[in-house]
């Protein structure tokens, strides 16, 4: 980090601590790309309520939703620098920085959401949370991100052949670029906030995401063909800046961890409901949902992605342990 950036970070981090809302001694600023009311936003707000109660009103959280603090990749950097205290993001944008996050981001690594929960709630999940510390972040909890599938504005996709040559936006992760190439399409990494207009103007044919994001972003308005190939079940993560963390007492750190853990079942519940609401909404608004898709060739096609990214013994062991989890 440059000296200038470090100074800026220190000034702003200090500011967050001294300018806290009246009743709270410390107000932690938390970033989210999603709009108010989205399950991730509501879950971090719920965590804030728990934390406030646990600390007799001393520690509070303010969620800056709707990318008020920026796009995910930028806010991650700012969280590392201590400019932002907390961040709720997908694991995808961490892939190029923290290799352990690539494992739950591998296509078809999880058989179901239940499988993902079991893994992320267990030792492999803990190892991944711990890996954030070396990158100036504290991993607090994993949230649900549903399963991600392709959508586009050109045609219904029924097979890998239909995907040939099409252009899809992916999160800014090399792994996802390779994932899209593996099924014969072209990937364009770009921030979430640019996807809508990029589809509209023909820069890309589509993108890939879960029901709630496909709906809340309005992408369904510009890309109505949604094919449930469910190539990713990538969890979301709630992290805290290590700089902000180190300013807390051990008791307050424990209270933050406890409140984060308590927000997980709240989030899962909100998520399950929102998936249904979003699905119903996009169907009602004219999206064409393609469900008759054979996933076997997609799973086969991902082999080179595993070969490229699962290289060290540590990562191989993680994959094996995930596959052996039932
Ligand atoms: C959403 C996820 C966001 C963001 C977005 C994207 O499903 O919740 O954190 O990563 O996808 O595609 O950029």
> What's the Cα-to-Cα distance from 71 to each of 38, 87, 223, 243, rounded to whole Å?
16, 11, 22, 21
Q: Whose CA is nearest to atom 13 of ligand 1?
A: 192
Among protein residues, the one whose CA lies closest to atom 1 of ligand 1: 213
Q: Distance (Å, rounded) from C-alpha 113 to C-alpha 135?
A: 28
Q: How far does residue 92's CA lie from ligand 1's centre (Å)?
A: 8
| Secondary structure (3-state) at 7 | helix
Give the separation between CA 37 and CA 41, rounded to whole angstroms: 6
Query: CATH for 3-145+235-276, among 3.40.50.300, 3.60.15.10, 3.40.718.10, 3.40.190.170?
Result: 3.40.190.170
Q: For each of the chain's 326 residues, which pLDDT tens digit applies?
A: 444 454 444 445 444 544 444 589 999 999 999 999 999 999 999 999 999 999 999 999 999 999 999 999 999 999 999 999 999 999 999 999 999 999 999 999 999 999 999 999 999 999 999 999 999 999 999 999 999 999 999 999 999 999 999 999 999 999 999 999 999 999 999 999 999 999 999 999 999 999 999 999 999 999 999 999 999 999 999 999 999 999 999 999 999 999 999 999 999 999 999 999 999 999 999 999 999 999 999 999 999 999 999 999 999 999 999 999 99
Instruction: Give tens-digit pLDDT for 289-322.
Output: 999 999 999 999 999 999 999 999 999 999 999 9
| Shared fold status for 3-145+235-276 and 147-233+278-324 | yes
Q: Which of 213, 214, 195 is nearest to 205 (CA)?
A: 195
Residue boundaries of the structural domains of the chain: 3-145+235-276, 147-233+278-324
Residue of 30, 31, 32, 33 best suited for mutating to test ligand 1, as the one with most atoms within 8 Å of CB = 33
CATH class for the region spanning 147-233+278-324: alpha beta
99: phi then psi, degrees, rounded to nearest 5: -60, -30
């Amino acid at each position: 980090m440059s000296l200038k950036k470090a100074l800026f970070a220190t000034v702003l981090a200090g500011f967050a601590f001294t300018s806290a809302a009246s009743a709270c001694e410390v107000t932690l600023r938390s970033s989210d790309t999603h709009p108010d009311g989205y399950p991730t936003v509501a879950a971090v707000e719920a965590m804030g309520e728990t934390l406030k109660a646990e600390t007799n009103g001393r520690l509070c959280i303010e969620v800056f939703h709707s990318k008020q603090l920026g796009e995910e990749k930028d806010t991650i950097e700012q969280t590392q620098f201590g400019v932002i205290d907390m961040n709720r993001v997908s694991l995808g944008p961490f892939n190029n920085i923290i290799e352990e996050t690539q494992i739950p981001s591998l296509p078809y690594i999880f058989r179901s959401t239940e499988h993902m929960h079991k893994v992320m709630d267990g030792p492999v999940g803990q190892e991944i949370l711990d890996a954030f510390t070396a990158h100036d972040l504290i991993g607090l909890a994993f949230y649900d991100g549903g399963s991600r599938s392709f959508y586009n504005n050109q045609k219904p996709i029924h097979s890998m052949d239909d995907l040939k040559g099409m252009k899809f936006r992916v999160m800014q992760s090399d792994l996802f670029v390779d994932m899209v190439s593996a099924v014969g399409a072209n990937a364009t990494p770009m921030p979430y906030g640019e996807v809508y207009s990029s589809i509209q103007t023909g820069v890309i044919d589509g993108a890939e995401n879960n029901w709630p994001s496909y709906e809340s972003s309005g992408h369904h308005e510009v890309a109505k063909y949604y094919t449930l190939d469910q190539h990713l079940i990538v969890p979301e993560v709630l992290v805290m800046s290590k700089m902000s963390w180190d300013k807390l007492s051990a008791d307050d750190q424990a209270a933050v961890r406890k409140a984060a853990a308590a927000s997980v079942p709240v989030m899962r519940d909100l998520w399950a409901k929102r998936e249904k609401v979003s699905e119903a909404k996009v169907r009602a608004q004219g999206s064409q949902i393609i469900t008759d898709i054979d996933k076997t060739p997609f799973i086969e096609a991902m082999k080179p992605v595993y070969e490229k990214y699962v290289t060290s013994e540590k990562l191989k062991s993680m994959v094996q342990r995930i596959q052996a989890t039932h």
